[in-house]
């Protein structure tokens, strides 16, 4: 039985479960619940990441970056009209406009109680206030032009160019008017999260392609994608388009990860190899996904993929070490077993172990000790560096392959010397 234990590759068998448990534990610490171990493993093999623009790539709260006055309108008049149109707007965008204009052009402000607020609605796509029998409005370009009775072609050429520049830069243009007179445009900028470009560059080195999913028009989407450094864009995305894109990638042999929160995301989440639903999303999304983020932070999909990749690399590294370790171990065992029958095998006793009994006992003791030593590494995981698969393989072979051969030779010889010195064999 002792001989059987020594001969079989027990090291990796004892470590695989520890590696899997460690991966699940790291997810739990992230406040992500995985419904199966297979989902964590699939995360390490992902080729394509489909990421929502809002909340993942950008902050989602657009901020005022500039204002552009219409011909014949002063910046002061535009600032006053835009400030009043935004005073009752409690959205993040409205607050950012107020902050920007207060710094640009400080002016007396009426108390909120004296304003009659006109909230934004999906039908009008306008918001503003009525104050002292004057009408202040801001809103989407076409909606506001329709409100004041103008067509897109009647937009002043200079202002039209500024509106186009805003859209081409990835921003959102809003127009402002007072009593039916066009004052100018507001530039709302979608702020890309700092460090996200570098994060995508690291994923690219690991062979993972990123796809930004957004409802924006292709022009705006392309500008934000260029700034963020994503590899591809799915603009004007609908649930049907998401599902079709996932199936297309899978038909080409690629694994896909995505996150979502709405009921309309459920089919795509179910189709994706790694689907992460937000805890504050719909029940349909949570049931369709194989992971749920309790903090409802879509950015965590990047961390989930990183953990999956670490799990995969750790398993590969320790499997390499285990195989190399077993090969080295046989140099101690085979001469001890068969040298008396086949004297030629004596050349394999490169460690010059003192006796066959010592060789077998030293190998058994080493086998038991190495598992204990490697369990902390299996639990901690091998850190993944931003490099190609070939570079990672070379690194693993050098460290864990060569190490798996050298360590057993040194360890078994040391144990043999200790057993002999203590007179145990």
CA-to-CA dists, residue 152 to 136, 144, 162, 164, angstroms? 20, 10, 13, 12
Report the distance separating Cα 258 and Cα 239, nearest Å.
Answer: 12
Report the distance separating Cα 412 and Cα 361, nearest Å.
Answer: 9
For residue 151, count CB atoms less than 10 angstroms from its CB and return exposed for 0-12, middle for 13-18, buried for 19 or more. exposed
Report the distance separating Cα 225 and Cα 317, nearest Å.
Answer: 35
Q: Which residues pair with 185 in a beta bridge?
A: 68, 175
Report the distance separating Cα 270 and Cα 39, nearest Å.
Answer: 12
CA torsion sign for 103, 108, 114, 115 is negative
Report the distance separating Cα 100 and Cα 78, nearest Å.
Answer: 13
Q: What angle do CA 77, 78, 82 make, to 5 degrees?
A: 120
Query: 246-262 burial string, b = 16+ CB within 10 Å, else e?
Result: beebbeeebbbbbbbbe
Asked if 231 is an active-site residue, the reply is: no
CA torsion sign for 14, 17, 19, 25 is negative
Report the distance separating Cα 425 and Cα 188, nearest Å.
Answer: 81
- Three-state SS at 82: helix
For residue 143, count CB atoms less than 10 angstroms from its CB and return exposed for 0-12, middle for 13-18, buried for 19 or more. middle
Copy the structure tokens of residue 91.
């959205």
Kind and range of the H or E element at 300? helix 300-338
* Residue among 25, 45, 52, 297 flagged as catalytic: 52
Report the distance separating Cα 22 and Cα 101, nearest Å.
Answer: 52
Q: Which residue has the tokens 């360890």?
A: 411
- Is residue 170 within 8 A of residue 155, CB to CB? The reply is no
Report the distance separating Cα 307 and Cα 292, nearest Å.
Answer: 15
- Is residue 222 within 8 A of residue 214, CB to CB? The reply is no
37-44 vs 300-338: helix crossing angle, rounded to 10: 90
Q: Tell me the catalytic residues.
A: 52
């Amino acid at each position: 039985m002792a001989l059987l234990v020594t001969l079989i590759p027990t090291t990796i068998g004892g470590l695989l479960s520890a590696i899997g448990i460690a991966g699940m534990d790291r997810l739990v610490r992230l406040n992500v619940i995985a419904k199966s171990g297979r989902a964590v493993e699939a995360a390490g093999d992902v080729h394509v990441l489909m990421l929502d623009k809002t909340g993942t790539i950008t902050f989602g709260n657009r901020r005022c970056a500039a204002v552009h006055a219409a011909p014949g309108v002063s910046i002061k008049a535009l600032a006053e009209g835009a400030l009043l149109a935004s005073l009752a707007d409690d959205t993040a965008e409205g607050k950012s406009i107020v902050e920007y204009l207060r710094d640009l052009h400080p002016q007396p402000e009426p108390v909120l109680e004296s304003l009659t607020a006109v909230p934004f609605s999906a039908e009008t796509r306008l918001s503003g206030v009525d104050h002292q029998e004057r009408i202040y409005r801001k809103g989407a370009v076409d909606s506001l032009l329709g409100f004041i009775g103008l067509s897109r072609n009647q937009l002043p050429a200079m202002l039209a160019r500024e509106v186009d520049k805003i859209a081409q830069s990835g921003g959102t243009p809003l127009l402002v008017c007072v009593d039916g007179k066009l004052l100018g445009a507001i530039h709302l900028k979608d702020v890309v999260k700092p460090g996200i470009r570098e994060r995508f560059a690291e994923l690219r080195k690991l062979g993972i392609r990123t796809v930004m999913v957004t409802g924006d028009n292709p022009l705006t989407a392309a500008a934000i994608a260029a700034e963020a450094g994503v590899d591809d864009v799915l603009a004007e995305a609908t649930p049907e388009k998401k599902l079709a894109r996932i199936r297309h990638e899978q038909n080409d042999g690629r694994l896909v990860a995505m996150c979502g929160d709405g009921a309309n995301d459920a089919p795509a989440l179910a189709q994706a190899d790694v689907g992460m639903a937000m805890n504050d999303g719909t029940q349909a999304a949570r049931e369709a996904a194989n992971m749920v983020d309790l903090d409802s932070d879509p950015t965590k999909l990047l961390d989930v993929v990183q953990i999956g990749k670490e799990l995969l690399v750790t398993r590969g590294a320790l499997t390499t070490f285990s195989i190399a370790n077993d090969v080295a171990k046989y140099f101690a065992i085979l001469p001890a077993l068969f040298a008396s029958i086949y004297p030629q095998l004596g050349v394999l006793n490169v460690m010059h172990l003192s006796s066959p009994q010592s060789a077998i006992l030293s190998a058994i003791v080493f086998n038991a000790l190495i598992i204990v030593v490697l369990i902390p590494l299996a639990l901690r995981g091998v850190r993944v560096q931003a490099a190609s698969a070939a570079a990672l393989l070379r690194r693993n072979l050098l460290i864990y392959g060569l190490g798996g051969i050298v360590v057993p030779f040194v360890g078994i010889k040391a144990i043999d010397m200790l057993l002999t010195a203590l007179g145990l064999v």
